Amino acid sequence: MTHLYSVTLGVLVVAGLLTLVRLVHGPRALDRIVALDVIVTMVIAGTAVGMALRDDSTALPVLVVLALLAFIGSVTAAHLVEKRKGMR
């Protein structure tokens, strides 16, 4: 089972690096906003995998707070893009 966790974390790291490239190179603000939201989601997933690996659920409130922040950030970014037509 440990190999499965290692493979999962490896896939998350590769996906995080690819998303980081999108965050840096853009080209539009909306691309950067979505990339940042994906990175937050991958941090949540990595934390969940780490919790499963250690069989410890003490970080569950941190996951809930991060998920709420990601949701609020996505809604705020969508509202901002809707207001500013040039960001699309």
Among residues 43, 46, 50, 44, which one has the least CA distance to residue 63?
Answer: 44
Residue 88: both structure tokens together: 């699309």
Q: Provide the pLDDT for residue 18.
A: 94
Element (H, E) at 68: helix 60-83
- pLDDT, tens digit, 9 for 90 and up, residues 65-86: 999 999 998 888 888 888 877 6
How much is the pLDDT for 29? 79
Model pLDDT for residues 15-58, shown as the tens digit of each residue? 999 999 999 998 887 888 889 999 999 999 999 999 998 998 89
Q: What is the pLDDT of residue 30?
A: 82
* 12, containing H or E segment: helix 2-25
